[in-house]
Amino acid sequence: MKKSTLTIGIIAVLGMAYAGTSWYSGNMIEDHIDDQLALIINKVNLSQDLFTFSVTKNHYDKGVFSTKVHLTVAVSPRESTIQGNYPKTLFDDDVTIHHGPFPIAALAKGTFSPQLAWLQYEMSQQANPTLWKLAGNRPFISGHTSVSYDEYITVKLASKAIKASQNEIPTIHDSILDISNGSYTFSSYTDGSDIKAEIKLDKLVFLSDDTHHFNFDDFKLSLKPLTTTEDIDYEFNIGNINYSFDSFISKGNFNVNNFKSKGRINYKNQNIDEQSSIDKITLNIKKSTPKIESAIMTINKIVMSQKNILNDSNNTIEGSLVSRIGSIIYGQQNLGSGSFDINFKGVGRQFFDPHFKTTVPDISESDKYNIEFSLNKLNWHNASGDINVNLLFNISEINSSNTDVENYDKINTLKFNLEAPFDVLASLSAQIQNPNTKHVTSEQIAKESVVIKTNAKMFFSRSPFFIFNKDQTEGIYSNVEYTKGNQNVKVNGQLLDKKDFLEISNLFSQH
Using the CB atoms, write b or e for 474-504: b if 16+ within 10 Å. Answer: ebbbbbbbbeeeeeebbbeeeebebeebbeb
Judge whether 234 lies within some domain. Answer: no
Task: For residues 2 and 102, state if they share a domain.
Answer: yes
Using the CB atoms, write b or e for 347-380: b if 16+ within 10 Å. Answer: bbbbeebeeebeeeeeeeeebebbbbebbeebbb
User: Distance of CA 106 to CAs 25, 190, 231, 444, 478, Å?
Assistant: 15, 20, 33, 72, 71
Domain total for the chain?
2
Which of 210, 240, 266 is the last residue before a domain boundary?
Answer: 210
End-to-end CA separation in angstroms for the chain: 108
Task: For residues 199 and 309, state if they share a domain.
Answer: no
Burial class, 328, CB count within 10 angstroms (exposed 0-12 / middle 13-18 / buried 19+): buried
On the question of a cis peptide bond just before residue 114, with omega within 30 degrees of 0, the verdict is: no
Higher-confidence residue of 126 and 333: namely 333
Say if CB 235 and CB 249 are below 8 A apart: no
Task: For residues 162 and 302, state if they share a domain.
Answer: no
Task: For residues 136 and 10, state if they share a domain.
Answer: yes
Judge whether 261 lies within some domain. Answer: no
Amino acid identity at 176: I
Centre a 10 Å sphere on the Cβ of residue 189 and count the other Cβ atoms it contains.
13
Query: pLDDT tier at 260 (50, 70, 90 boundaries)?
Result: very high
User: Distance of CA 34 to CAs 68, 118, 150, 153, 299, Å?
Assistant: 15, 17, 18, 15, 55
Rounded to the nearest 5 percent, the helix, strand and coil shares of the chain are: 20, 50, 25
Query: pLDDT tier at 12 (50, 70, 90 boundaries)?
Result: very low
Judge whether 361 lies within some domain. Answer: yes
Amino acid identity at 50: L
Higher-confidence residue of 354 and 215: namely 215
The arithmetic mean of pLDDT across residues 312-317, rounded, is: 82
pLDDT of residue 507: 56
Task: For residues 450 and 345, state if they share a domain.
Answer: yes
pLDDT of residue 18: 32
**Neighbouring residues of 290: CB distance < 8 A, sequence distance ≥ 6:** none
pLDDT per position as a tens digit, 60-86: 776 566 778 787 888 788 776 566 677
Amino acid identity at 149: Y
- Of 65-69, 354-358, 404-408, the range with the lowest mean pLDDT is 354-358
How remote is the C-alpha of 30 from its chain's centroid?
41
Task: For residues 198 and 325, state if they share a domain.
Answer: no
pLDDT per position as a tens digit, 261-303: 999 988 777 789 999 999 999 998 877 665 556 789 999 999 9
Judge whether 283 lies within some domain. Answer: no
pLDDT of residue 100: 63
Task: For residues 313 and 177, state if they share a domain.
Answer: no
Higher-confidence residue of 122 and 20: namely 122
Which of 169, 188, 210 is the last residue before a domain boundary?
Answer: 210
pLDDT of residue 269: 78
Q: How far apart (Å, rounded) are the C-alpha atoms in residues 328 and 380?
A: 11
Higher-confidence residue of 91 and 318: namely 318
Query: pLDDT tier at 417 (50, 70, 90 boundaries)?
Result: very high
Query: pLDDT tier at 223 (50, 70, 90 boundaries)?
Result: confident
Q: How far apart (Å, rounded) are the C-alpha atoms in residues 133 and 160?
A: 11
Task: For residues 166 and 307, state if they share a domain.
Answer: no
Judge whether 439 lies within some domain. Answer: yes
Provide the domain limits for residue 355: 295-511
Point out which residues pair with 498 in neighbouring strands: none
Task: For residues 485 and 387, state if they share a domain.
Answer: yes
Point out which residues pair with 74 in neighbouring strands: 54, 89
Judge whether 217 lies within some domain. Answer: no
- Of 145-149, 189-193, 255-259, 350-354, the range with the lowest mean pLDDT is 350-354
Q: Given CA atoms 467, 471, 472, 474 in this order, what sign does their dihedral have?
A: negative
Which of 158, 186, 210 is the last residue before a domain boundary?
Answer: 210
Q: What is the DSSP string of 78-146?
A: SSTTS-S-SSEEEEEEEEEEEESSS-HHHHHTT--S--SEEEEEE--TTT-HHHHHHTTSS-SEEEEEE
Judge whether 216 lies within some domain. Answer: no
pLDDT of residue 359: 46
Residue ranges in 311-421 assigned as alpha helix (H): 356-359
Task: For residues 315 and 171, state if they share a domain.
Answer: no
Centre a 10 Å sphere on the Cβ of residue 390 and count the other Cβ atoms it contains.
17
Residue 13 pLDDT exceeds 80: no
Judge whether 220 lies within some domain. Answer: no
Task: For residues 178 and 324, state if they share a domain.
Answer: no
